[in-house]
Amino acid sequence: MSENNLIAISGGIGGAKLCYGLDQILQPGQLRVIANTGDDFLYLGFYISPDIDTLIYTLAEVNNKETGWGREDETGRPIMS
């Protein structure tokens, strides 16, 4: 890691928005993120990391702009059985 890199601590929608803004002004590869895992949980045997999901979706520009969380193309029906 060079001296020009930036490390951000991110949690929730606000942290994801901050990291998105930083990513827009920094050179590719300069941003390092420590993401919150304090809200992680198990659901039906799946490990859910909502803050990491929000961060990744925001940086990939596929997040839901209205809610700030989730993907823009989500149906809201994750379990169909």
Backbone angles phi, psi at 55, to 5 degrees: -60, -50
What mean pLDDT comes out for the span 47-63?
A: 96
Predicted local confidence at residue 66, as pLDDT: 92
Beta strands of 1-81 (E only): which ranges? Answer: 6-10, 31-35, 41-43, 46-48
What mean pLDDT comes out for the span 42-51?
A: 94
pTM: 0.85
What mean pLDDT comes out for the span 43-61?
A: 95
% of the chain surpassing 90 pLDDT: 79
81 — pLDDT class (breaks 50, 70, 90) = low
